[in-house]
């Protein structure tokens, strides 16, 4: 099994925690995994990209149009990293918007990319945890059931990784993210990978 | 015996390897991408209950000499850690050390920054090591970095020769599951040689992360049967097997970061492709796409290519061409005290000369308050040079140098004394945020805390500045913009006097990352939107990540989710009525600070 996953967002909003949970979930499931982060010189507010590769790879780099899954924690970072995504890939975007610009919609359709929008910020805010939008997007992703990233595995990894003090709230946001996908009638994806 | 697995970054893996190899002394100065190694040693020594001396040194030369002293004559197993340009600071001692027979073991970890992403230059540690005959390893992954660190310290101890390990930020910052062994029990697997492929027409020689990339790309291109790949781990001295491999291939392509090292060691320009003939880009990080394009091209030219080689889908960029994407260039954090200092400096003299230095505050370039970025310490010494050049023509122009607290202690004591002794007239704004922010919040000598978290003697910057002979010294909170502006004006008046000495202003306010969050100077995010006339001048002079221009409304928008409520942007708004900030500011500029 191989997955190439791009996590894209801005600094200070939990992109690296999300990618850490993905890599640890893969490793506890007995898979090889490596992650590499790009955050440039900005401490806060700059673009952050974390590349996660699951399976037998030597390098942590992802090539243009090779990525299987793009988790965009900010809509702007989705556009910036869309070139990573392969034909038939999966894109999940945290945004308040109800749709994407028509030129982008047409492109995604042409490239067979499955794209879902979710207001992860809104979900996190409803739970009083604005900084936990990353958990909402992870929950949304979990509901697609792409092995090894099932809701159970991701939830257990969050339990092991997130400090006790924030755990209950984070799990609540994660669960709301899962439900949001159900509410959208998101179909389970066929198994990714080669 | 293997104890367990842990997901850690490459720098922590290096720390683990050294700790398992019996490390006794470790010294470092923080610098991206090397900064996490020393805290990694602290983490693992506590985990294993080992006695290892660990310290943040004041600069890389100090770190090197502490480690060398311990290794050379006391027989200790020692190591020092730095970034590639830090190795330049340690250079005098490094060159001498290679001639000495050390009694113990000495490993120097120097982390390169291809790109560069967070440095003033790319620089290849392997080149320096090779030029001066110092053994150097180039690990290809965090896992290998742990093994190499373990092996190198033992090898150095047995052979009484210092060893360099060159990491790059992709190795140092990649995260993998690493096996943790009991001290002394690591099972080392070092891979060098012809590891993949069966072809004879093209041999690819690569080291470090470049090898890992080549391996993945050859897999994707399905070209393993038409090429052969040779992995170099010990760059210098190079092995006989590498010469044999090169001899056995019709053509050879060398892929390495960031300079020509293996390529130069091989020689043979007729056979070898690489940076010399332009096959490999001459600078910048080698990415997946660069390797894929390059290998596709080379395979095609040698008649080894396939028809279905990768071709990028240009319609992606076409579809995105009309989508407005917020640009996110590197910026100081919202609420950063440096931004307030730069605003004040730039407000008073938009055309002053602004010698800058190395740290977060190099980003003051976007506010027009940093003109130069040479190396650590040059903010002060270049200010001297500018002064001399104008002074010779009989002109006294405003020169406002800026430097942070950690860099000041690292590299500016001699330059500032030099300026006093030689009677140079300029203003030094010493931006004291109580930490080494850009590299991840390491303590400075002023903090008075060791890397282990133990209290130590703290050294106050103002005492040092006075001790160096500076007379004009003011300490100002940069959030008090009118006072800051008034003080800068007053300092310039001082320069016009008879003293002929530099003036120093310490702009002191803790880094927001240190105070963990909001500045909380105001109860609400700044409301500069309601009065906004769309002039955009605040974007030029203030440049806060929380500000963006709404093209639809033709107004500035503040992003409440990252605004820290510092309220300083009121000063940057020329029409702001509510804050009355600008009016206060003009009064302050007129009167000067009392």
**B403-459: pLDDT as tens digits:** 999 999 999 999 999 999 999 999 999 999 988 888 888 888 888 899 998 999 988
Instruction: Look up the CATH number of the domain holding residue B429.
Output: 3.40.50.970
Both B140 and B215 in a single domain? Answer: no
> What's the mean pLDDT in A156-171?
94
Both B61 and B85 in a single domain? Answer: yes
B100-123 b/e (C-beta count within 10 Å ≥ 16 → b): eebebbbbbbbbbbbbbbbbeebb
Choose among B5, B141, B288: nearest Cβ to A63: B288
B337-347 pLDDT per residue, tens? 999 999 999 99
Our CA-based measurement puts residue A184 at a distance from the nearest CA of chain B, in whole angstroms, of 25
Our CA-based measurement puts residue B171 at a distance from the nearest CA of chain A, in whole angstroms, of 9
The verdict on a CB contact (< 8 Å) between B220 and A63 is yes
Helical ranges in chain A per DSSP H: 15-28, 75-81, 102-110, 120-126, 133-142, 151-161, 164-183
Asked if the ipTM is above 0.85, the reply is yes
> What's the mean pLDDT in A170-189?
82
Reply yes or no on whether the pLDDT at B585 is more than 60.
no
Q: Name the percent of chain B lying above pLDDT 90.
A: 76
Choose among A57, A60, A103: nearest Cβ to B170: A60
For residue B16, the surrounding DSSP H or E stretch is helix B10-20
The verdict on a CB contact (< 8 Å) between B545 and A107 is no
Which residues face A53 on adjacent strands? A4, A34
Q: How many CB atoms lie within 10 A of CB B539?
A: 15
A14-46 pLDDT per residue, tens? 899 999 999 999 999 999 999 998 876 665 667
Asked whether residue A192 is assigned to any structural domain, the reply reads: no
For Cα atoms A139, A158, A172, give the angle at the middle one, nearest 5 degrees: 50
Domain termination residue (choose one: B247, B277, B301): B301
| Residue in the block written with tokens 């106050």 | B460
The verdict on a CB contact (< 8 Å) between B323 and A40 is no
Both B370 and B508 in a single domain? Answer: yes
The verdict on a CB contact (< 8 Å) between B313 and A35 is no
Residue A189: predicted pLDDT: 54
Asked whether residue A188 is assigned to any structural domain, the reply reads: no
CA distance B209 to B213: 6
| Overall size of chain A counted in residues | 194
Domain termination residue (choose one: B181, B202, B234): B181
Instruction: Look up the CATH number of the domain holding residue A40.
Output: 3.40.920.10
Both B217 and B142 in a single domain? Answer: no
Reply yes or no on whether the pLDDT at B188 is more than 50.
yes
Looking at chain B, which residue has its C-alpha nearest residue A33? B176
Asked whether residue B19 is assigned to any structural domain, the reply reads: yes
Q: Strand B25-28 vs strand B77-83: parallel, antiparallel, or unpaired? A: parallel
> What's the mean pLDDT in B34-58?
97
Asked whether residue B571 is assigned to any structural domain, the reply reads: no
Both B101 and B27 in a single domain? Answer: yes
Q: Pick the residue of A25, A36, A106, A112 with the most B CBs within 10 A to test the interface with B by mutation.
A: A36
The model's confidence at residue B260, banded by pLDDT at 50, 70 and 90, is: very high
> Is any Cβ of chain B less than 8 angstroms from the Cβ of A172?
no
The verdict on a CB contact (< 8 Å) between B546 and A45 is yes
Residue B520: predicted pLDDT: 58
Task: Name which residue leads in pLDDT, A39 or B230.
Answer: B230
Both B512 and B488 in a single domain? Answer: yes
Domain that holds residue B78: 2-181
> What's the mean pLDDT in B485-507?
96
Q: Pick the residue of A21, A24, A45, A130 with the most B CBs within 10 A to test the interface with B by mutation.
A: A45
The verdict on a CB contact (< 8 Å) between A46 and B292 is no
Both B51 and B159 in a single domain? Answer: yes
B225-250 b/e (C-beta count within 10 Å ≥ 16 → b): ebbbbbbbbbbbebeeebeebbeebe
Which residues face B206 on adjacent strands? B231, B255
Domain termination residue (choose one: B285, B301, B317): B301
Residue A193: predicted pLDDT: 42
CA distance B17 to B21: 6
Both B503 and B380 in a single domain? Answer: yes
Residue B2: predicted pLDDT: 57
Both B32 and B171 in a single domain? Answer: yes
Q: Which of A59-73, B29-43, B563-577 has the lowest mean pLDDT?
A: B563-577
User: Number of folded domains in chain B?
Assistant: 3
Instruction: Look up the CATH number of the domain holding residue B206.
Output: 3.40.50.920
CB B51 within 8 A of CB B6: no
> What's the mean pLDDT in B518-537?
73
Looking at chain A, which residue has its C-alpha nearest residue B322? A103
Domain that holds residue A79: 3-183
Q: How many CB atoms lie within 10 A of CB B256?
A: 25
Asked whether residue A193 is assigned to any structural domain, the reply reads: no
Asked whether residue A95 is assigned to any structural domain, the reply reads: yes
Q: Pick the residue of B195, B214, B215, B316 with the most A CBs within 10 A to test the interface with A by mutation.
A: B316
Helix-helix angle A164-183:A133-142, to 10 degrees: 50
Both B290 and B212 in a single domain? Answer: yes
Entry pTM: 0.93
> What's the mean pLDDT in B48-77?
95
Interface of A with B in 64-83 (CB under 8 A): 64-66, 76, 79-80, 82-83
Looking at chain B, which residue has its C-alpha nearest residue A75? B325
Q: Which of A142-146, B101-105, B303-307 has the lowest mean pLDDT?
A: B303-307
CB B359 within 8 A of CB B437: yes
> Is any Cβ of chain B less than 8 angstroms from the Cβ of A31?
no
Reply yes or no on whether the pLDDT at A120 is more than 70.
yes
The model's confidence at residue B147, banded by pLDDT at 50, 70 and 90, is: very high
B270-287 b/e (C-beta count within 10 Å ≥ 16 → b): eebbbbeeebbeeeebbb
Both B297 and B395 in a single domain? Answer: no
User: Number of folded domains in chain A?
Assistant: 1
Asked whether residue B277 is assigned to any structural domain, the reply reads: yes
Give the torsion through C-alpha atoms of A17, A22, A28, A33, to 10 deg: -110
Asked whether residue A149 is assigned to any structural domain, the reply reads: yes
Reply yes or no on whether the pLDDT at B594 is more than 50.
no
Asked whether residue B323 is assigned to any structural domain, the reply reads: no
Q: Which of A27-41, B17-31, B485-499 has the lowest mean pLDDT?
A: A27-41
Both B466 and B487 in a single domain? Answer: yes
> What's the mean pLDDT in A140-151?
95
For residue B473, the surrounding DSSP H or E stretch is strand B473-476
The model's confidence at residue A186, banded by pLDDT at 50, 70 and 90, is: low
Asked whether residue A18 is assigned to any structural domain, the reply reads: yes
The model's confidence at residue A192, banded by pLDDT at 50, 70 and 90, is: very low
| Residue in the block written with tokens 């210092």 | B162
CA neighbor of B110 nearest in space, from B192, B41, B188, B172? B172
Give the torsion through C-alpha atoms of B345, B347, B352, B358, to 10 deg: 40
> What's the mean pLDDT in B158-186?
96
The verdict on a CB contact (< 8 Å) between B328 and A45 is yes
| Residue in the block written with tokens 């749709």 | A99
Output the average pLDDT for chain B: 92
Output the average pLDDT for chain A: 91
Chain A contacts of B438, Cβ < 8 Å? 41, 43
CA distance B593 to A29: 65
CA distance B526 to B518: 13
Residue B577: predicted pLDDT: 60
């Amino acid at each position: 099994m191989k997955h190439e996953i791009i996590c894209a967002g801005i600094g200070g909003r939990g992109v690296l925690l999300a990618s850490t949970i993905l890599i640890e979930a893969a490793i506890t499931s007995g898979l090889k995994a490596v992650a590499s982060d790009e955050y440039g010189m900005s401490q806060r507010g700059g673009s952050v990209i974390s590349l996660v590769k699951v399976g037998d790879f030597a390098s942590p780099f992802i090539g243009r149009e090779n990525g299987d899954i793009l988790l965009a924690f900010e809509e702007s970072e989705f556009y910036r990293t869309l070139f990573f995504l392969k034909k038939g890939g999966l894109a999940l975007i945290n945004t308040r918007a109800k749709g994407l610009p028509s030129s982008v919609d047409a492109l995604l359709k042409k490239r067979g990319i499955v794209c879902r929008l979710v207001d992860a910020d809104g979900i996190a805010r409803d739970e009083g945890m604005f900084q936990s939008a990353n958990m909402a997007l992870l929950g949304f992703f979990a509901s697609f059931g792409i092995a090894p990233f099932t809701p159970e595995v991701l939830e257990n990894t969050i339990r092991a990784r997130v400090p006790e003090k924030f755990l209950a709230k984070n799990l609540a946001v994660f669960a709301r993210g899962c439900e949001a996908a159900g509410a959208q009638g998101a179909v389970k994806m066929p198994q990714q990978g080669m | 015996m293997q104890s367990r697995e842990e997901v850690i970054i490459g720098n922590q893996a290096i720390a683990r390897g050294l700790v398992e190899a019996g490390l006794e002394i470790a010294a470092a100065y923080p610098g991206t991408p090397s900064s996490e190694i020393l805290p990694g040693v602290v983490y693992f020594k506590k985990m294993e209950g080992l006695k290892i001396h660990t310290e943040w040194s004041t600069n890389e030369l100090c770190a090197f000499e502490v480690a060398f002293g311990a290794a050379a004559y006391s027989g200790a197993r020692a190591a020092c850690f730095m970034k590639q340009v830090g190795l330049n600071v340690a250079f005098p001692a490094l060159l001498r050390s290679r001639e000495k027979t050390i009694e113990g073991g000495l490993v120097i970890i120097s982390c390169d920054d291809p790109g560069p992403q967070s440095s003033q230059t790319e620089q290849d540690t392997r080149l320096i090591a090779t030029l001066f005959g110092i053994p150097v390893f180039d690990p290809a992954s965090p896992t290998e970095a742990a093994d190499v660190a373990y092996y190198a310290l033992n090898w150095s101890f047995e052979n009484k020769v210092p060893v360099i390990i060159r990491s790059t930020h992709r190795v140092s910052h990649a995260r993998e599951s690493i096996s943790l062994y009991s001290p002394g029990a690591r099972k080392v697997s070092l891979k060098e040689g012809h590891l993949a492929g069966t072809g004879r027409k093209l041999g690819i020689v690569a080291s470090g992360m470049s090898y890992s990339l080549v391996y993945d790309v050859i897999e994707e291109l399905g070209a393993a049967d038409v090429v052969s790949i040779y992995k170099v781990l010990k760059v210098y001295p190079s092995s006989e097997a590498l010469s044999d491999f090169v001899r056995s291939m019709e053509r050879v392509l060398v892929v390495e970061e960031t300079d020509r090292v293996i390529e130069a060691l091989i020689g043979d320009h007729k056979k070898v492709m690489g940076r010399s003939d332009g096959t490999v880009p001459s600078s910048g990080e080698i990415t997946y796409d660069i390797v894929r394009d390059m290998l596709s091209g080379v395979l095609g030219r040698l008649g080894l290519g396939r028809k279905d080689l990768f071709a990028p889908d240009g319609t992606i960029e076409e579809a995105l061409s009309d989508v407005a994407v917020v640009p996110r260039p590197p910026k100081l954090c919202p609420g950063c005290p440096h931004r307030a200092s730069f605003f004040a400096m730039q407000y008073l003299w938009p055309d002053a000369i602004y010698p800058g230095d190395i740290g977060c505050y190099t980003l003051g370039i976007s506010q027009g308050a940093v003109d130069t970025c040479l190396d650590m310490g040059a903010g002060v010494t270049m200010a001297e040079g500018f002064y001399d050049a104008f002074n010779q023509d009989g002109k006294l122009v405003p020169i406002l140098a800026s430097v942070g607290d950690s860099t000041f202690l690292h590299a500016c004591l001699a330059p500032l004394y030099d300026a006093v002794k030689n009677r140079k007239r300029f203003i030094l704004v010493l931006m004291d945020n109580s930490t080494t922010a850009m590299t991840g919040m390491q303590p400075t000598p002023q903090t008075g805390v060791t890397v282990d978290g133990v209290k130590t003697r703290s050294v106050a910057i103002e005492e040092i500045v006075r001790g160096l002979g500076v007379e004009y010294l003011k300490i100002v909170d940069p959030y008090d913009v009118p006072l800051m502006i008034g003080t800068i004006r007053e300092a310039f008046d001082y320069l016009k006097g008879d003293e002929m000495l530099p003036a120093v202003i310490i702009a002191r306010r803790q880094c927001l990352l240190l105070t963990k969050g909001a500045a909380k100077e105001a109860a609400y995010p700044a409301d500069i939107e309601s009065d906004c006339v769309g002039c955009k001048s605040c974007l030029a002079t203030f440049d806060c990540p929380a500000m963006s221009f709404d093209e639809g409304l033709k107004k500035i928008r503040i992003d409440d989710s990252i605004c820290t409520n510092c309220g300083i942007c009121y000063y940057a708004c020329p029409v702001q009525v509510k804050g009355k900030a600008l009016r206060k500011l003009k009064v302050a500029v007129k009167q000067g600070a009392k």
